[in-house]
């Protein structure tokens, strides 16, 4: 079904300042709130709308993001294309932690726009930060995800040796799983949005624009 934005969190990469952390009133009728994943219920949304604590629609949420973003801004996210698509945004200066880490694992892969596996933010946060996220029975927190994405990227920037070590382990895990031996593939500021559709923990393949070298040079 159609995915709609229900919550948006944006933080500043350099400072960690929370720029946006707000409900987004969905356009049209929602048939399934998917609360187990999103952590959002109809009751929560109605309360936020009544109190003025929600954007009036996804277009208003998008405009709020553009208040902090111009053509030179580097957007950072985990499977960022999902969030940009839900917000109807096109942006070319991006760093995607899902692609960055997959690129480290599958260095030299024949198709750099499609990797056979992406690691979930939950697994990256645990492996690289020793941080457990998305553990609430009530579902995800967009702000928690945004902050974790920021910290995963900082870890990758500041600890290249550890990133390579993790990548070697990830590559071995992939081959040991049998997927590599069988050649199995599937088609398929920091922004984090909670939508109203389930997303798999680990997904296969993606494509996107990455100015990773420019960003890392500026940061370092």
For every residue of 166-201, which 3-state class applies, written as one string? Answer: HHHHHHHHHHHCCHHHHCCCCCCCEEEEEECCCCCC
For the entire predicted model, the pTM comes to 0.81
Averaged confidence pLDDT in the chain = 83
Confidence grade of residue 37 (pLDDT, cut at 50, 70, 90): confident
Confidence (pLDDT) at 208? 36
d(CA 5, CA 57): 9
218 has a pLDDT exceeding 60 = no
- Taking only the tens place, the pLDDT of each residue in 38-87 is 889 999 999 999 999 999 999 999 999 999 999 999 999 999 999 999 99
Number of domains in the chain: 1
**Encoded tokens for 171:** 């590559």
Mean pLDDT of 15-29: 94
Determine the distance from the C-alpha atom of residue 188 to the mean position of all C-alpha atoms in its chain, rounded to a whole number.
Answer: 16
Confidence (pLDDT) at 108? 81
CATH number of the domain residue 110 falls in: 3.30.420.10
Confidence (pLDDT) at 210? 35
Q: How far is CA 157 from CA 11, 30, 92, 199, in A?
A: 18, 40, 20, 27
Q: Of 5-9, 123-127, 194-198, which range is least confident?
A: 194-198
Confidence grade of residue 199 (pLDDT, cut at 50, 70, 90): very low
Query: Which range of residues forms the domain containing residue 213?
Result: 5-219
- Taking only the tens place, the pLDDT of each residue in 107-149 is 887 776 688 899 999 999 999 999 999 887 767 899 999 999 9
């Amino acid at each position: 079904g159609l995915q709609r934005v229900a919550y948006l969190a944006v933080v500043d990469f350099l400072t960690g300042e929370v720029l946006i952390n707000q409900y987004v009133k969905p356009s049209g009728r929602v048939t399934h709130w998917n609360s187990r994943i999103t952590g959002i219920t109809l009751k929560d949304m109605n309360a936020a709308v009544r109190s003025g604590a929600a954007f009036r629609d996804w277009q208003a949420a998008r405009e709020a993001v553009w208040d902090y973003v111009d053509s030179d801004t580097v957007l950072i996210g985990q499977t960022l294309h999902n969030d940009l698509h839900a917000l109807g945004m096109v942006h070319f200066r991006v760093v995607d932690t899902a692609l960055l880490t997959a690129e480290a694992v599958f260095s030299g892969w024949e198709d750099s726009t499609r990797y056979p596996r992406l690691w979930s933010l939950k697994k990256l946060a645990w492996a690289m930060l020793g941080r457990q996220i998305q553990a609430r029975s009530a579902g995800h927190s967009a702000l928690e995800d945004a902050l974790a994405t920021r910290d995963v990227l900082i870890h990758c920037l500041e600890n290249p040796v550890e990133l390579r070590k993790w990548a070697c382990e990830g590559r071995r895990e992939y081959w040991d799983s049998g997927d590599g031996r069988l050649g199995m593939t599937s088609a398929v500021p920091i922004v984090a949005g909670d939508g109203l559709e389930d997303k798999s923990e680990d997904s296969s393949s993606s494509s996107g624009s990455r100015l990773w070298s420019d960003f890392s040079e500026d940061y370092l």
